[in-house]
Chains A and B, each alone.
Chain A
Amino acid sequence: MIETVPILVTVNGTRHVLDVEPRMHAADLLRGMLGLTGTHVGCEQGVCGMCTILLDGTAVKGCLLLAPQLDGCEVETVEGLATGEELAPLQRAFKEAHALQCGFCTPGFLMAATALERSGRRLTREEIREELSGVLCRCTGYEGIVRAVERRLTGG
C-alpha cells in the first residue's frame, strides 16, 4: 500500500482533514478528493496556468505543489469567487468583456486576476499583460481578458 499523509487544509472557507498520497499534486487533490473541478489541469509542469489557485492569498500553480504542502494553508479556488447566485465583480467584468470562449483557462485567469485586484496596485495595460502572462489562452487573443482586468483595476 502507498503511504498517505494526513493534512488539514481550508478550501474556500471549509476545513478538510484528508489523507493524501505524497505524490499527488494540489490540483489533483482539489479535483479528485474535493470535487472542485473548476481548477483545471493543462500541462502539469507549471507553464500553462490552468491550475492557478490562491494559497494564503498568493496566486500559485496547483500542479507545482504537492498535496502535503497544503497542510495548514488556506486555499481559494474559482468556486469560491461568486456569492450564491451573484457573480463577483471580476467575473461580471469577464462576462461583459467577452473575456472567455471555451472557458477552460478562465478559472486560472480569474484567480491570477483576483490576486492582482486585491493587491490594490494600479497597473498599465502593458503591466496587466505582463502580470497575466503566467496563464495561457488559445481562444481569445487575450484582449477581452486584458480589458476585463483593466476595468476592475481602474475601478470600472
Chain B
Amino acid sequence: MADTLPHVAGAPVGVGTPVTRKEDDRLLRGDGRFTDDVRPADALHMAVGRCPFPHARIAHLDTSAAERLDGVRHILVGADVVAATSVISPLRPTPGTPDLPYYALAPEVCVYEGHAFVSVAATSRHIAEDAIDLVEVEWEPLPHVTDTLAALAPEATVLHPAQLDSNLLSTNPMGPGADAELAAADVIVEDVFRVNRVTGLPMEPRAVVAEWRPGARRLTVHCATQVPHLVRMQLAETLHLDEGEVRVIASDVGGGYGLKLGAYPEDVLACLHSMRLVRPVKWAEDRQEHFRATTHARESVHRFRIAATQTGRILAITDTYAADLGGQYSSFGPAQLSSYTYPGPYRVTAGHVERQVVVTNKTPIGAYRGYGQPEVNFARERLMDRLAREVGIDPLEVRLMNLLTPEELPFTNLSGAIYDSGDYPRCLRMAADAVDYSGHRVRGTVRPDGRRTGIGFSSFIERTGYPSAKFLADRRSRYGTHESLTLRANRTGGIDLFTGVSTMGQGSETTIAQVCAQVHGVDFARITVHAGDTGASPLNTGGFSSRTMIAAAGAVRIAASELRAKTLRIAAYRLAVDPEDLTIDGQVVRLRDDPACAISLAEVHEAAIFGRGIPDEEDPGLEATAHYEPPAAAFAFGSAAAVVTVDPETGDFDVDRFVFVHDSGTVVNPLIVEGQVRGALAQGFGAALGEELRYDRDTGQLVSGSMLDYFAPTAADLPEWELLHTEVASPVTPFGVRGVGETGTIPPAAAIANAICDALSDMNLDITSLPITPESVWRAIAAASAGEGMS
C-alpha cells in the first residue's frame, strides 16, 4: 500500500475509498479546537502541587502564604477533596483485586513522585504556579520501592497497608495447565523478559476547562479525553452530581493512545474549584507534570516458557508475569491483554498464564496502544528463535510449522480468545520473501566490512474490540462494548452525524461518514460530523481498544438504513412512485431507471422536518439513532521481518529494513489504515529502541521525565518501513473490518532483537530486556563471551 493516492473529488465515497479526511482542513489552518484552545474570558487558572518524593507523609501543610498572594482565589488540599467528593473509580479494575480507592488529592501519604497534594485557582497560570511555590510543606519521607520484583520481596515496605498485607494486588491464574506436556517435552526454552516502562507521549498534554452554573445546575467540562461519556459517568459519581447535570466535551484531542482514557484527578479538581468559585476554571498540564501525572505503561517482568518436541512442535506455553501498577490505580490500570494473547498465532493447546499486579512507588500505569500485547510478543517471539536454535531448525520453519492455518480457524486459544479468520502463514512467507530470507541464509551473516547482518521475524495477533459486554461485566469493567450514533437530516439536504467518539487522530469522523455515505447514498461531503460532546450524542463507549470502527460501522449501518428507508418513503409519496424503485444519489432521490424523475434531498428533508407533504402514516422528523454491539472481537494478525547490521565489537546496530505484513480485514480507508500502521510502528520502534521511564533505585526519582531526557523518535530516527498487507474479511464484524490502531506496536521489539541475535548467532547472545540499545547489545555480547569463557 505504498504511497496510496487520494480519492478524486466528486467520485462516490464508500467503504474502501482513500478519501482525504474531514478533520484535515481545520487542523491544517490552526483552527482545531483542542481543550487548551477553549478560553472563556473570565476563566481562572489552576496549578497543582506535586510530591517531590516517591513515598512521603505530609507532616505539616500550610497554605496561608499562598492564600495571601494577590490573584489567588481558592486552594484545595486533600481534606477538602475527601470532604467534597467520592473516590475516583477505575473503569477497568484488575479482576479479583481489592479496591485501592484514591482521591483527587492525596490526603496524607503520597505514593509516587508527582502525586498531587494541593491545587490552586488564581487569576493567571503564573500566579497559580507562584502560589504553589508558596505552599509550605513538611515532608516525612517514607521507605520506598520502585523495582517491580523488589516490591514483592518480604522486606519491602507495604504501600497500602490498610487494604493489602503485601504489594501484590492480585494474581489471575488462567488456562488449562500444562503439567503433562511439560513433563513430556523434549525441549523447554524459558527466560525472564523485562519490558520497559514507557509512555505514549501525546503531543497535546492533558487539559480541562470546567464551568459550573449553580442556577442551571450544569457542569460543563471540556476535557482532552478519548471517552467523554465515561468521564461524565466518573465525574458525576465523584462529585455527587446527577449524570444529567454533567456535560463533557472533547472536540479535538491531540493524541490519546490509551493515556486519555477516563477521568484524572485534575479533572475533578478543576470541577471542584469551579463549583466553589462559580467561575470557569482551566488547567493545562505542562510537560514536566505530564511525565509524572499522566499514566505510564508496559512495565512488566515475564517468566515465559515454551515446551516443544525435538521436531519443533510446540506442546505448551506458560507465562507468569509481574505487571507494575505504580503507586495507585488509574482508570485503566495495568495492561490485561498479555493474559489473552500470550500464545500468539500458534497452535497451542496446553499452558497457563498468571498475572501478578504489583504496587510500587511510581506513576500509575494505564492503557497504552497494545495494552499487554507487545510485551508478550517480545517474550514469545524471542523464545521461538531460542527454540529453533535448540532443535536445530530454521526460525522461519519453526514458526511456519506452528502457525495456525486458515483451515484451523476459528480457533479458541488457551484463554478462551477466539481467533476468527485469516491466513497467518501467508503473512510470514510474504515477510520472508520480501527480505530475501533464503538468499540471506545462503550468504551468511558476515559482511566484508566486518559488521554482521541478520534477519529476525516476529509473528503476531492483535485482539481488536471486545468479545462481549458480558466479558467486560464479568471482569467488573464499567463500560460496555457497543457504539452508537445519531443521524439527523437537515433542511439543506445534508445529514448531521452525532457520535460520542472523540476525534484524536484516528480519522473516525471520516471513516464513519464513509460508511454512512455508502449505506445511505448521500454525498460524503454533505455529512457533517459532530463528535465527542455528551450533550449532543447518544451514550456510547468511546475510542480505544481498536474497537471504534468495528462497533461504529454496525451502528451507522443500522441508522443509515433506517434514515434511507424513511427518506425513500417520503420521496416516493411526493413523486407518486414506489419506494422500491427509488435510490439516493448524492443530493437527490431519484428513480433508479430514470434520473430525470428526482426530488432533492433538501426538499424531502424539509417536508419531513416540517411534517408537510408526507404520508399520513409517517411521523414528522427524519432522524435515526442506533446502538450496536459487535458479536465478537476480531483478531488482526501479521508478521514482521527486520534486517539489521551490527558491529560485533561495539554493539552498534542499524535497522536497515523493516517489513511489516498485516491484515486488518476490510479496509475502510487505505490512507487512514496506512497512517495508523505507521504511527503504531513509530511507537513500537521508540519503545523497542530507546524510550524508557527510568527511576533511580536509591532515590526513587524519575530520571528521564522530560522531553530532553525521554527518547521519542524524530523523523530522522526511524528507518523507511515497507508495508505489505492481506485483506481477509472478518466474518464476525460489519463489512469484515478488523481494528488497526495498535498492531504496529506489537512486533518491532522481537523482530529487531531476533535479527541482532541472528547476526551474532555464532556468539550465542541473548536479548531479554527492553529497550534494545547499542549499550545493551554490547553488554549482551560481553555476557555471552563471559559465558563462553566459563564453559
Interface residue A71 (Cβ < 8 Å from any Cβ of B): no
Which of the segments B110-118, B264-272, B560-568, B673-681 contacts the partner chain?
B673-681
Which of the segments B79-87, B304-312, B704-712 contacts the partner chain?
B704-712
B716–A104 touching, CB < 8 Å: no
Q: CA separation between A77 and B682, bound complex, in Å?
A: 28
Which of the segments B18-26, B380-388, B484-492, B770-778 contacts the partner chain?
B18-26
B204–A104 touching, CB < 8 Å: yes
Query: Separation in Å of the B454 CB from the closest CB of chain A?
Result: 23
B20–A96 touching, CB < 8 Å: yes
Interface residue B683 (Cβ < 8 Å from any Cβ of A): yes
A147–B683 touching, CB < 8 Å: no
B201–A138 touching, CB < 8 Å: yes
Residues of B near A128 (CB, < 8 A) are 715
Interface residue A132 (Cβ < 8 Å from any Cβ of B): yes
B675–A101 touching, CB < 8 Å: yes
Classify chain A: how many residues form its interface, as a range: 35 or more
- Chain A interface residues (CB < 8 Å from chain B): 21, 23, 31-32, 35-45, 47-48, 50, 77-79, 81-82, 87, 91, 94-96, 98, 100-107, 110, 128-130, 132-147
A95–B28 touching, CB < 8 Å: yes
Considering the complex, give the chain B residue whose CB is closest to the CB of A37. B37
With contact pairs A37-B30, A43-B287 given, residues A96 and B6 touching in the complex (Cβ less than 8 Å)? yes
Residues of B near A31 (CB, < 8 A) are 36-37
Query: Separation in Å of the B249 CB from the closest CB of chain A?
Result: 16
A102–B28 touching, CB < 8 Å: no
B287–A102 touching, CB < 8 Å: no
Classify chain B: how many residues form its interface, as a range: 35 or more
Quick one: which of B30, B507, B720 contacts A101, CB cutoff 8 A?
A: B507
Quick one: which of B25, B503, B721 contacts A95, CB cutoff 8 A?
A: B25
Residues of B near A143 (CB, < 8 A) are 678, 720-721
Q: CA separation between A47 and B201, bound complex, in Å?
A: 13
Residues of A near B721 (CB, < 8 A) are 141, 143
Q: Could you list some 22 contacts between A and B, CB below 8 A?
A: A32-B39, A40-B34, A40-B36, A43-B706, A44-B286, A47-B706, A79-B30, A94-B24, A95-B20, A95-B24, A101-B505, A102-B252, A102-B503, A103-B23, A103-B26, A104-B202, A132-B714, A138-B203, A138-B712, A139-B255, A139-B675, A141-B744
B682–A146 touching, CB < 8 Å: no
Query: Separation in Å of the A18 CB from the closest CB of chain B?
Result: 16
With contact pairs A35-B39, A101-B505, A145-B715 given, residues A106 and B27 touching in the complex (Cβ less than 8 Å)? yes
Residues of B near A139 (CB, < 8 A) are 203, 255, 505, 675, 679
Q: CA separation between A139 and B718, bound complex, in Å?
A: 13
Residues of A near B681 (CB, < 8 A) are 141
Considering the complex, give the chain A residue whose CB is closest to the CB of B717. A133
Interface residue B254 (Cβ < 8 Å from any Cβ of A): yes
Considering the complex, give the chain A residue whose CB is closest to the CB of B200. A138
Quick one: which of B34, B126, B678 contacts A104, CB cutoff 8 A?
A: B34
Residues of A near B37 (CB, < 8 A) are 31, 37
B28–A110 touching, CB < 8 Å: yes
Quick one: which of A41, A48, A79, A142 contacts B682, CB cutoff 8 A?
A: A142
B678–A144 touching, CB < 8 Å: yes
B25–A87 touching, CB < 8 Å: yes
Interface residue B205 (Cβ < 8 Å from any Cβ of A): yes
Query: Separation in Å of the B77 CB from the closest CB of chain A?
Result: 27
Considering the complex, give the chain B residue whose CB is closest to the CB of A42. B203
Quick one: which of A21, A48, A91, A147 contacts B29, CB cutoff 8 A?
A: A91
A-B contact count (CB 8 A): 184
Residues of A near B256 (CB, < 8 A) are 102
Query: Which residues 164-206 in B have Cβ within 8 Å of A in the complex?
Result: 200-205
Residues of B near A106 (CB, < 8 A) are 27-28
Residues of A near B506 (CB, < 8 A) are 101
B6–A102 touching, CB < 8 Å: no
Interface residue B504 (Cβ < 8 Å from any Cβ of A): yes
Residues of A near B36 (CB, < 8 A) are 31, 37, 40-41
Considering the complex, give the chain A residue whose CB is closest to the CB of B256. A102
Interface residue B672 (Cβ < 8 Å from any Cβ of A): yes
Query: Separation in Å of the B529 CB from the closest CB of chain A?
Result: 15
Nearest 3 A/B pairs, CB to CB? A38-B30, A103-B27, A104-B254
Considering the complex, give the chain B residue whose CB is closest to the CB of A82. B29
Residues of A near B675 (CB, < 8 A) are 98, 101, 139-141, 144
Residues of B near A138 (CB, < 8 A) are 200-203, 255, 257, 679, 682-683, 712
Query: Separation in Å of the A142 CB from the closest CB of chain B?
Result: 4
Considering the complex, give the chain A residue whose CB is closest to the CB of B714. A133
A102–B29 touching, CB < 8 Å: no
Query: Separation in Å of the B102 CB from the closest CB of chain A?
Result: 27
Residues of B near A41 (CB, < 8 A) are 36, 284
Interface residue B516 (Cβ < 8 Å from any Cβ of A): no
Q: CA separation between A100 and B503, bound complex, in Å?
A: 13
Query: Separation in Å of the B154 CB from the closest CB of chain A?
Result: 41
Q: CA separation between A41 and B3, bound complex, in Å?
A: 31
Query: Which residues 139-164 in B have Cβ within 8 Å of A in the complex?
Result: none
Q: CA separation between A144 and B253, bound complex, in Å?
A: 20
Q: CA separation between A104 and B680, bound complex, in Å?
A: 17
Interface string of B734-748 (1 = CB under 8 A from A): 000000000010000
A102–B708 touching, CB < 8 Å: no
Considering the complex, give the chain B residue whose CB is closest to the CB of A78. B30
B3–A40 touching, CB < 8 Å: no
Interface string of B363-405 (1 = CB under 8 A from A): 0000000000000000000000000000000000000000000
Q: CA separation between A42 and B201, bound complex, in Å?
A: 10
Interface string of B497-526 (1 = CB under 8 A from A): 000000111110000000000000000000
Query: Separation in Å of the B126 CB from the closest CB of chain A?
Result: 7
Q: CA separation between A144 and B721, bound complex, in Å?
A: 12
B203–A102 touching, CB < 8 Å: yes
Q: CA separation between A61 and B50, bound complex, in Å?
A: 28
Interface residue B31 (Cβ < 8 Å from any Cβ of A): yes
Residues of A near B690 (CB, < 8 A) are none
Q: CA separation between A147 and B720, bound complex, in Å?
A: 12
Residues of A near B284 (CB, < 8 A) are 41
B504–A102 touching, CB < 8 Å: yes
Query: Separation in Å of the A149 CB from the closest CB of chain B?
Result: 9
B32–A103 touching, CB < 8 Å: yes
Quick one: which of A42, A95, A110, A142 contacts B205, CB cutoff 8 A?
A: A42
